[in-house]
Amino acid sequence: MRALSIASKGVIKLIQAPVPKVGTGNVLVKVSAAALNKRDQFTRESKYPNIKFGSILGADAVGEITEVGDGVNKKNIGRKVIINPNISWGDNEAVQSRDYAILGMPSNGTFADFVEVGADRIHDIPKHLKDEEAAGLPLGGLTAYRSCFTHGKIKKDDNVLISGFGGGVAQFAFQFALAVGANVYVTSSSEAKIKKAIQMGAVAGFNYTDPDWYKNLWQTKGGFDVVIDSAGGDQINTFVKLMRPAGRIVFYGATNGLPSSIDLYRMFWNQITLQGSTMGSDSEFKDMLAFVAKHKIVPVVESVFEFDNIIRAFDEIASSSKIGKIIIKL
């Protein structure tokens, strides 16, 4: 079968690999569509510890079950499914276990014609989604769901700011917040992305390249209840200034690094929460799929590449102009 492997630091290669032999309790999925995440590019760049060279990359995918292992009902053969990329989250809903991992390194992932996963990793695809749309949902959708609702507790009429609109997780957080009736705002360095967000339902957007962008937020009528952020860095203190009392800042990444300081005085006086977040538990994955189905949410797809062009797709994921997911069609 065709597969994309991390060969060495900075090097990914298309290879021929054996079709996995299906173990007890597992299923074999013939992948129809997969999606890129920044995690895949970060793995390519060796930005994670303990990278296992030779692994097949990829966390997100949908496809059809073609074979089942012992202990799995054969009626699953022919079933179209979406894959939960969590491995060993554990029993504690509040935090992942020490054994937690994500499909696609060190275990072989979804950038291949076939992938073997546990039977408990598979779920029905939301009926309103095409394969190319659903493929972009698992990692980004789950991360956004946990950030928005488990930690952010977003509800109707909350003022919500989504930073860095256009990225995979951010576009899901944006759509999820809109779905529950929040007043949603965005930040971006791109006027085109801000315009797109407003077309999709944002109240307003702010260009964060303007050093004074946060000083004229009269339209929020008092600030934000929730901020969902991926970048960290010194903008955390900007968010602290913008929060309503008891506001919640949830961050799921730190691409801008550590803040040079934190405005603890303002935080404790205004009862502000600064909360880290990751992907999410298996139960949150089920809840996320149900939420997407109920609200008919459709992932924004930036582009679709044939599998043989997947390396070129990797080169595009770093583009600052993209909005939404990059999908691989097999």
For residues 126 and 219, state if they share a domain: no
Element containing residue 63 per DSSP (H, E): strand 60-68
For residues 157 and 41, state if they share a domain: no
At residue 142, the pLDDT reads 98
Does residue 282 fall inside a structural domain? no
Does residue 43 fall inside a structural domain? yes
pLDDT 10s digits, 72-117 = 999 999 999 999 999 999 999 999 999 999 999 889 999 999 999 9
CATH code of the domain covering residue 227: 3.40.50.720
Closest by Cα among 26, 99, 93 to 287: 93
CATH code of the domain covering residue 11: 3.90.180.10
The answer to whether the Cα torsion of 231, 237, 239, 240 is positive or negative is positive
Does residue 259 fall inside a structural domain? yes
Place of tokens 């309103």: 128
The mean per-residue pLDDT over the stretch 221-240 comes to: 91
For residues 9 and 132, state if they share a domain: yes
Separation between Cα atoms, residue 147 and residue 195, nearest integer Å = 24
Separation between Cα atoms, residue 304 and residue 313, nearest integer Å = 8
Which residues lie across from 160 on neighbouring strands? 184, 226
At residue 105, the pLDDT reads 87
One-letter amino acid at 238 equals T
The residue out of 276, 291, 315 marking a domain boundary is: 276
What's the structural domain count of the chain? 2
For residues 106 and 120, state if they share a domain: yes
pLDDT 10s digits, 22-71 = 999 999 999 999 999 999 998 998 888 788 899 999 999 999 999 999 99
For residues 158 and 202, state if they share a domain: yes
Does residue 291 fall inside a structural domain? no
pLDDT band at residue 167 using 50, 70 and 90 as cut-offs: confident
For residues 304 and 250, state if they share a domain: no
Closest by Cα among 228, 302, 235 to 262: 235
| Other C-beta atoms lying within 10 Å of the C-beta of residue 104 | 29
Three-state DSSP state, 215: helix
For residues 309 and 204, state if they share a domain: no
| Other C-beta atoms lying within 10 Å of the C-beta of residue 236 | 23
The whole-chain average pLDDT of the chain stands at 94
User: Is residue 291 within 8 Å of 179, Cβ to Cβ?
Assistant: yes
Whether the per-residue pLDDT at 231 is higher than 90: the answer is: no
The mean per-residue pLDDT over the stretch 195-221 comes to: 88
Given 3-state DSSP classes, what are the helix, strand and coil percentages for the chain, each rounded to the nearest 5? 30, 30, 40
For residues 115 and 177, state if they share a domain: no
Does residue 203 fall inside a structural domain? yes
pLDDT band at residue 221 using 50, 70 and 90 as cut-offs: confident
Q: What residues make up the domain containing 78?
A: 2-137+299-329
Does residue 202 fall inside a structural domain? yes
Portion of the chain with pLDDT greater than 70, in percent: 98
pLDDT 10s digits, 116-162 = 999 999 999 999 999 999 999 999 999 999 999 999 999 999 999 99
At residue 322, the pLDDT reads 76
Does residue 266 fall inside a structural domain? yes
| Other C-beta atoms lying within 10 Å of the C-beta of residue 316 | 16
Whether the per-residue pLDDT at 273 is higher than 70: the answer is: yes
Separation between Cα atoms, residue 301 and residue 133, nearest integer Å = 7
Ordered alpha helix ranges (H), the chain? 38-44, 131-134, 138-145, 168-179, 191-200, 235-242, 264-269, 282-295, 310-317
